Amino acid sequence: MEIWKIKNISKVRVPVAVAAGSAASKGVILEPGQFCLGEGRITSSLDAQSRRKFIEIEKAFDNSILEMKIGEAFEETSLIAASEKVADYSK
């Protein structure tokens, strides 16, 4: 399953709906600098916020090791902490 990382690059709160299943989506409000993960499918919300340059979408995010939850807002520090945790387990 392809996972996308959606990051708020604006200075305001941005509501988005991310794909969270074959026929489901989940609403998330991203504060400036926050990101969330969603399944690799465009929603009308993602399309609109992307065209407005409020969000950026990383379409090749590897969540297989980190196993972060889809449709939940995270700070970038959460990504760093998860990476360090995985590194500790692999030692």
Q: What angle do CA 70, 76, 81 make, to 5 degrees?
A: 85
pLDDT band per the 50, 70, 90 thresholds, residue 11:
very high
Total-model pTM: 0.85
Write the pLDDT tens digit of every residue in 17-71.
999 887 889 999 999 999 999 999 999 999 999 999 999 999 999 988 888 899 9
**Considering its fold, how many domains does the chain have in total?**
1
Q: Which domain holds residue 44?
A: 3-89
Per this entry, what is the length of the chain?
91
Bridge partners, 56 (sequence order): 7
Q: Is 89 exposed, middle or buried (0-12, 13-18, 19+ CB in 10 A)?
A: exposed
